[in-house]
Amino acid sequence: ALAIRQRCLGPDHPEVARALNNVGTALSSQGRHAAAEQVFRESLAMKRKVLGPSHHAIGATLNNIARSLRYQGKLPEAEAACRQAIVVLEASLGATHPSVITAVTNLVALLKRQGKDAES
């Protein structure tokens, strides 16, 4: 599906970025978190290029990157990605949107895993 979208729509298209994100999700569900991270980062770069830096899809992909990093044990990097996701999602969707709540919940879990209970 990804190759077809790339061929038909070109390499820098929102649908190609979304397909990449789906590949990353599939890799993550298989426990292939390093590979998922790379695909999510590719999707993120494409989304930033075609959607701009503040689109809610950027925040969702940053949250996916944070999750992949967390599963790899890269907690400080995961925290940074999660914080970026929250900023983008709040700005684009509002503080009470379910996607923002999910990202904040993920951040709290990351902070607790790092022993940063006071921040959580």
Q: pLDDT (tens digit, 9 = 90+) per residue, 17-56?
A: 888 999 999 999 999 999 999 999 999 999 999 999 999 9
Does residue 73 sit within a domain? Answer: yes
Count: domains in the chain? 1
Q: How many residues does the chain have?
A: 120
Judge whether residue 102 has pLDDT over 90: yes
Does residue 120 sit within a domain? Answer: no
User: Domain containing 26 — which CATH number?
Assistant: 1.25.40.10
Q: What pLDDT sits at residue 16? A: 85
Evaluate whether 88 touches 44 at the Cβ level (below 8 Å).
no
Does residue 67 sit within a domain? Answer: yes
Band (14; pLDDT cuts 50, 70, 90): confident
Q: What pLDDT sits at residue 8? A: 73
Q: What pLDDT sits at residue 3? A: 66
